[in-house]
C-alpha cells in the first residue's frame, strides 16, 4: 500500500520559497504533518492517520548540494535545496541563511564547505562536539557545567576555543577572525538568540546559536550549529 505524506498547501509554500533567496530566515512549511494510507480499502476496514508536529531541522548534503530538511516524527519529512550562494544553519522551526560574498566583495560565492551542521540538545553536565554534531564523552569541544542550579557555564575542552563577541551571526569570515579564549563562559552571558563563534578541538571554524534553555533543573541547552572545513 502507498503511504503518502499529506502536507496541505505545502506545494504552494515550497514553490514560493524560490522567490526568497535573500531571506535571512526560512521557516518550515508546516507546524504539523499528516501521514495516511490512501488506497481504497474493503468494507469494514479503516485507517488511523499519523499526525506529528515539527520535531527537528537539519541541513544535509543530497546529490552534492545542501538540502534543508524539516522532520515531522513518524509522519516523515519535507525538504528543499538551500538558496543559491547562501550558507544555511538549522535552527528551531526553520533555517537561518546567510549570503556569502565572494573575495573582494564581488558576487561570486567564495564560501567554505560545510563540514557539519544541525541541532544538538545538551543535557546539563554533559559534553558536546561541534565537529560531529553530537553529545559526546570523548573528544568533545565543550562541557555544559552546572556549578550550582543558577551558575551554568560552557567550558572549552581538549583545546577548543570560544569567541562570544557581539553575539551576532558572523558566519565563517567573521568567526575565523574572532578573538577566542579557552576560558569558560557563563550561560547568563549567552541569552537565547546569541550566535557564538568557536574554534573546535580539531581546528575547524564553527558557529552556534543558543536556541533554548529549559527552565527546570536539570536543564537542557538547545543549539543550532554549523562547522566549516
Q: What is the mean pLDDT of each run of 10 residues along the chain (229 residues)?
A: 42 36 74 90 91 90 81 91 83 82 45 87 96 91 95 96 94 92 96 96 94 94 93
Residues 13 and 94 in one domain: yes
Residues 120 and 70 in one domain: no
Range of the domain at 188: 114-228
Residues 90 and 181 in one domain: no
For position 17, what pLDDT does the model report?
36
Residues 101 and 118 in one domain: no
Residues 152 and 194 in one domain: yes
Closest CA to 28 of 75, 78, 83: 78
Residues 119 and 16 in one domain: no
Residues 124 and 223 in one domain: yes
Contact 189, 199 (CB under 8 A): no
Gap between the Cα atoms of 69 and 66, Å rounded: 10
pTM of the model: 0.56
Residues 121 and 176 in one domain: yes
**Rounded alpha-carbon distances, angstroms, from residue 77 to 35, 52, 55, 82, 206:** 10, 10, 10, 16, 26
Last residue of a domain, one of 73, 105, 137: 105
Amino acid at each position: 500500500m502507498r503511504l503518502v505524506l499529506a502536507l496541505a498547501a505545502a506545494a504552494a509554500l515550497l514553490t514560493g520559497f524560490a522567490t526568497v533567496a535573500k531571506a535571512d530566515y526560512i521557516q518550515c512549511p508546516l507546524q504539523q504533518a499528516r501521514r495516511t494510507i490512501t488506497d481504497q480499502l474493503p468494507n469494514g476496514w479503516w485507517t488511523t492517520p499519523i499526525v506529528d508536529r515539527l520535531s527537528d531541522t537539519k541541513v544535509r548534503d543530497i546529490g552534492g548540494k545542501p538540502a534543508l530538511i524539516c522532520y515531522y516524527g513518524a509522519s516523515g519529512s519535507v525538504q528543499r535545496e538551500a538558496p543559491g550562494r547562501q550558507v544555511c544553519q538549522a535552527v528551531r522551526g526553520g533555517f537561518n541563511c546567510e549570503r556569502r560574498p565572494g573575495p573582494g566583495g564581488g558576487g561570486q560565492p567564495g564560501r567554505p564547505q560545510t563540514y557539519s551542521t544541525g541541532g544538538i540538545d545538551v543535557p546539563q553536565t554533559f559534553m558536546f562536539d561541534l565537529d560531529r554534531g553530537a553529545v559526546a564523552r570523548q573528544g568533545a569541544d565543550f562541557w555544559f557545567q552546572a556549578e550550582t542550579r543558577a551558575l551554568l557555564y560552557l567550558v572549552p575542552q581538549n583545546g577548543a576555543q570560544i569567541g562570544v563577541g557581539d553575539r551576532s551571526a558572523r558566519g565563517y569570515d567573521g568567526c575565523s577572525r574572532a578573538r577566542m579564549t579557552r576560558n569558560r563562559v557563563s550561560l547568563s552571558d549567552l541569552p537565547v538568540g546569541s550566535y557564538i563563534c568557536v574554534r573546535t578541538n580539531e581546528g575547524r571554524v564553527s558557529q552556534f546559536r543558543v536556541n533554548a534553555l529549559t527552565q527546570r533543573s536539570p536543564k537542557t541547552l538547545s543549539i543550532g550549529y554549523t562547522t566549516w572545513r
